[in-house]
Structure 1
Amino acid sequence: MDIFQSPLMSLPGITPEEYSYLQQATAGLSEQQLRNFLMVYSSKRKSASDMLIFCLVGLFVVPGLQRFIVGQVGMGILYLLTIGLCFIGSIIDVVNHKSLAFEYNQKMVFESLQMVRMGGFQ
């Protein structure tokens, strides 16, 4: 299948790294399972540009917002209480927003695959 005809390319802001990861993760799925996976995964994933916005809001308005968004509640509370680890942690998150989004998306791929394979999504 041509890369531009792949259903995975319908995800907004998909990076080559994420595309490659998704190709490997969805290799054994049927066409219906792939459609179900994409429906579940697209509602859960965060693009790098969204994560950058969350990190900037976390830097200037609500320290740790980006950590709460990706499900790291403990780190979010720590950032909140220490004002983003004295701004250093928040600045690092702004710089590394792409890897923060990719790590979160990897977890969402696993969760989405589990739902599709177990038949929890019809």
Structure 2
Amino acid sequence: MNERKILIAIPDVTPDEMMHIMHVIKGLKEEDLDQFLFLYKGKRKSTQEIMIMTLIGFLGVAGIQRFMVKQTGMGIIFLLTLGFCYIGTIVDLVNHKKLANDHNQQMAVESIQLMNMYKT
């Protein structure tokens, strides 16, 4: 039941992301799951968003994808060095799915922590 609800709420969820979400939400009540999904959907980034922002790096605005995944320091370095002379931008383009997955896993944990904080 939870898997179906997640797939409806987040249609582009990846298998790795789904496994992580299922681990994070284990034991949540139905109304808590709704709250979690609401918070998580607002924080997660799709792989397509990360890929598009990485491609924009080739137009001279390198590092936007790093700012999106809350890696501000790397974003500034990419911006100042033109994505390490485009090499870092190419690496991020190849690894855009991993960037998105790592960010989304962190946001799932952050969302559940935020929920627990407001419960008490």
State the TM-score, normalizing by the size of structure 1.
0.90
Question: How many percent identity over aligned positions?
Answer: 44
Q: Does 1:7 align with 2:29?
A: no
Taking the aligned partners of 2:72 and 2:108, their CA distance within structure 1 comes to: 20
Taking the aligned partners of 1:113 and 1:20, their CA distance within structure 2 comes to: 15
Q: How many residues align?
A: 118
Shift of 1:2: 7.9
Tell me if structure 2 keeps the 8 A contact 1:67–1:75. yes
Q: Structure 1: any 5+ residue segments left out of the alignment?
A: none
Q: Does 1:59 align with 2:58?
A: yes
Tell me if structure 2 keeps the 8 A contact 1:12–1:47. no
Counting helix residues as a fraction of each chain, which structure ranks higher? Answer: 2
Shift of 1:58: 2.1
Paired position in structure 1 for 2:97? 98
Paired position in structure 2 for 1:46? 45
- Coordinate RMSD, CA, aligned: 1.4
Cα 1:2–1:113 change in 2 (3 A) is closer
Q: Structure 2: any 5+ residue segments left out of the alignment?
A: none
